[in-house]
Structures are given as structure tokens and as C-alpha cells.
Structure 1
Amino acid sequence: MSKKANTNSALHEKDGIPQPESINKSSVEKVMLRRRNQPSAKELIAGILAQDKVALSRAITLVESTNLDHLVKANEIINGCLPHANKSIRIGITGVPGVGKSTFIEAFGKHLTSMGKKVAVLAVDPSSTISHGSILGDKTRMEELVKDENAFIRPSASGDTLGGVARKTRETIILCEAAGFDTIIIETVGVGQSETAVHSMVDFFLLLKISGAGDELQGIKRGIMEMADTIVINKADGDNVAKAKLAKTEFNRALHLFPAKSSGWIPKVTTCSAFEKTGIDNVWKIISEYIELVKGNNYFDEKRQNQNQFWMMETINEQLKNHFYNHPEIITLLEQNKLDVASNKKTPFSAALELLSKYFK
């Protein structure tokens, strides 16, 4: 068979259409140019005060960065925004995974924006203890709220911080308030007893529950139940309505076992269906009643003052811890002491005291 005949056979592969490049060179050039032309702290502050969401996002990225070069710029932005902050209602929302936090927040957020409010959602995603990565899928789950002009959603990785609250959430709240958001919602990972971190940075703490999953028994436990200002039983729809009403009764009974709150507020229990968007208006009514009470008896301002002092102490503790572990001599001695402790040559306590003594010399 000739060469020409062979190329015309059914087994011959014809030349196809050339595949386009997977990366748009023009887009890459624009991204690189934008990275080179980083806005100054003053430009970002001006953008935040002008309610520019892009400037707000870029500023939050700086605040969350662990790069020491970004720290100075981030602090300048925070200090520039601080005089324009503290004009919002801060709401913490927690609950076990699967309780419907994202669905509830979307329905609740849409209800607030329909009233003319500006809502910022700081959604904290759990970080893997193995890969240290996070999915950060809250914008995907809240597909309606993310398109709302009066809403801003910022997912962040929890890292290893207490309560699943991102390390810089406290500072991010300040930036969102300066950008004109009057309602700040913090969604936590929902890991139970360690939710004290989010409780220490919000005005109102909302605990989401579901019925028919043994959750009613948790009502007799302390910890997170004592911190809650209201309990909302979600998924009260379909065949679950009767169970939700029963759970409401059980939780109301349980709340009477706890001592009175220093705010003078009596925690309430209500039901809702985030899926059917029923009962959402009642949740906001309860929050409004609480805010009216605590502002009237000055507890609102006292709580914020105490929170500011608490986070000052937490920042000191964090900085001391970071400085300790980054100390050149400690880095060397720490590994040796780990080996000594593992081989029972030293007790954990004596090894720790030795390291601390070396650090404070």
C-alpha cells in the first residue's frame, strides 16, 4: 500500500481544530498589573468609607494576612476606620453542623435587606486539622443574598482559633461597620462549648437548634445554653412542625434552670423554617426587643467596653505566645525538650518551666 493511500485510510487521524489556550493572557496581565499597583492604606480607607466593597475586601485580606509587611498597613487601615465604627448591631449565630445555619442566615439577611438594612455576613468555615484548608463555600450556599446590593458576605478560614472564629474577625467587624453595614452577622463553625469567642464579640447570641435529633436533651446542659440570648428551632416545616413545637416547650423549661442574666433579659425560644421563610420576622422582633432593653439599662455599652478590654488582653496573650515560639534560643531548646519529655527524661512541667526561665532571662 502506498503512503498516500495509507493517509486516506479510516485509521488515519485527521488534523483537528487547534485548542485555545487555557489561560487568557490579557486577563493575566490585568491581574498582575493590579497586584503591582496595590492601593495605599489611605486609598483603602477612603474606599471603605465610600462603601466600596472591593476596597473593603482588599482591606480584610490585609487584616487576615500573616505577612509582617501587611501588619503595619492593616493597623493603619483599622485605626483610620475606628472613628467610623461601633454603629451596628452585632449578632452571633451558632449551631451544630447540619442545623441549617447558612440557609437561615440567607433568609434572615434577605429579610433585613428588605427592611432597608445593610448586612455584612462574616462566615467562618472550619479548617482541616490535617491539610489546614477550608472549603469557604458560604457564598455558594447563600446564592440569593450574595447578589443583594445591601449585603456583603466574607467567608474566612477558622484556623486553630477558639470557637471557630477567624483570628482577625474582631478587626473585620470594624471595617464592615466603617463601610456602612448596620447589621453584622457572625456565623461560627458550631463546635459547642468553645463558642465563647464569638460570644465575646457580639451584642446578641443566637443558638440554632433542630428537633427530632436528640437536641432537646442538650437543653439541660450548661455552657452554650447559658450564653444564648435566644434559641431558634429551625426546620419547623412539613411533618416536623409538631416536633418543633414540642422542642420549644422543652427548651423553655430548661432555660428556667439557669440563673438570671446580668442584662435583665429573659431568653426566648421560637421556631422557624428557613427553607419556607416562615418565622424569620419573629426572630428579628426578638432581637429588636433585646436591643431596646439593653440600650435602655446601659448594659449594651457596658458589654462592649468589657469586650474591648477582653480582646486587648487576648491580643497581648497572642503576641506573647508568638514571640515566645519565634525566639531563636527557644526554637532550638524546644525541640530538645520535646525529645526529653517524650523519652521521660523530663516531666512536661519541668521542661516548660525551663523554657520559660530561659525566655524571661
Structure 2
Amino acid sequence: MLDERKATILRAVVEEYIHTALPVGSGHVASAPGVAVSSATVRNEMASLEQEGFLAQPHTSAGRIPTQAGYRYYVDHLATRPTLDKASAQQVKAFFDRTHGELERMLADTSRLLSGLTGTAAVITGPPHETAVVRSVQLVGLTARMALLVVVLSNGAVEKATVDLGGDRVEPSDEDLARATAHLATHLVGHHLDALATLPAPPEGTPESAAALVDAARQAHDPDGDHLYVGGTDRMAGAFEAVEQVREVLGLLEQQLVVVSLLRDVLDRGLQVAIGSETGMTTLAECSIVVAPYEIEGEAVGTVGVLGPTRMDYAQALAAVAVVGKRLGRRLSEG
């Protein structure tokens, strides 16, 4: 624990660095709210904070910047529970008041909303489809031997998978597509999507192409696939000085399984904020993640989070993630 004066000075350095990305000098800190001591005293305290590992000095003549330990102390000792400003809160309310339609579009739009509120990249995992039942199913012909399987779920999600019959199959007709669709609908509508894996074979006498469509549809769906929605990746370009670092972070965001696993790991460790090495990934050594689960009817089904540089505005990020996650869960619970 830091004494009150050191904690106030550390907070002033962190908040100034978050907003300017420039090393912070003692003169500026001395004039910050709550720091009622001279510049000389601030210099001494900043030197002590550096020795204790909370601040670092990039250059001999420069001011100080927060270390990972400094950010962690700052986050763990935020004076009050972060809240969104009135304009941001109204923006969130207006968004969820008007958002309707497919689950995928809602989650994609929500990720862009969260990115706009925080100035970082936003990541949202969709709810598992085991909680929903099939409302409708359709096979749509694409080419001579390829079709698109479209399944609409009760939670508003639309699952799509390409059905490939291969080159040695008889080309299916419109009647074959209709027969296969009818068979799928008979055994899937009103059931969970995992029923596709145990779908019975079509009745005897079904044309070969229609039967092949049913078999290919059964194999086309990935029941364990996680759905990740990322918004605001363009904001990462201005967050780091090194182009290679931007490239690595953007490359990571394209790896859906890795990001989903990372979000789950952070929550499983009881964290809401993971800073730098706490993410467990060298690619994110200069990044922080703020994440929270969202609930449907009282059950946690997905996560809402933001990914940005370690100098992100933690108070705004924590407030935005909390409010957006709560409103998203409420909206999905309403159906």
C-alpha cells in the first residue's frame, strides 16, 4: 500500500499519461487536483515511486511514465466506481432502444458502439447456440454441386454453412433441395442445433441427390464453433508507435479461437482488467484488456471486452464494458 500522498501523485501521473502519451513532469503533477505539495516534494516522491517500481523514466531528462505495476495499483484503487458520462449513457440507451434483427448484426453493431465509447478495439463473444432452438432451416442452391445451409435460431442468430456435394455426385435439382430442406426442418425445427449431428437418414426412396444434401448438411456444421465480433480494429493503428506491434496485435484479433480463450482465461482468473504480461501473451505486452460477462435470464452466456494500449482510459473502459454488457444481456433476455 502507498501512503495517501504517493497514491495521489501516482494517480496524477497515470491520468496525465493516459491523456497525453508524454512523460509527466513534477511541475504538472504539482498543479494537479489533490496534490497540495511543492514541485520539489513531488520530484522526491516520484523518484521514490520509481524505486518502488510504479514509475519509470524513459530518458534522464524526461518526466515519468507508469509501469505495469503503476497501472495495476491505479486500477485497483480507483477512488469511485467508474460511471459513464451522461452523453455516453444516453448513446448506449438509444442504441439498445432501436437495435433489432439478427443476433449477429446486433453483436457486430454493439462491438462498434463499445469501440466508439472507449477509443479501443472491442471484442464480444456470442452466446452458445445450445441455449436456443431452431426456428427455421433452408438449403439454397449456389452452384451445380454446392448449396448454402441457413438455420435461424430462437435467439436471433443465423447459422450459415456451405454444403459441398463433391464432383462425383449427381447435380441436385430444385426438387431435391426442397426435399432435403423438408427433411431437415422435420427433425430440427423446435430442437437444439446439436440435433443436426444425429439427424436420421432420409426415408427409403429419397432421390440420391436429396439424400446427399442431407448428409453433407449434417457434416457442414461445426457445433463447437465460437462466434467473436470485433469492432474498431482501425483504432489500434494510432495506439502504438511501432508498426510491427500494430500488425501483431491486429493479427491476433483475427485468430478467433485465441481471443475467445484469452477472454475466458482472464475471467477464470477472477480478473476484470488484465494489464501487459497479465494477459499471458507476449504479443500483448503493451496492451490491456477490460472484460466482463453478460447474462441472459441470469446466466452468463458471453463476454464483452475492450483491448487497447496499457495507457487506455481504464475508468471509461470499465464503465463502458459494464453498462454495455448489462444492456446487451437485458436486450437478449427480452428476445
Q: TM-score range by the shorter chain?
A: under 0.3
Higher strand share: 2
TM-score (norm 1): 0.20
TM-score normalised according to structure 2 size:
0.21
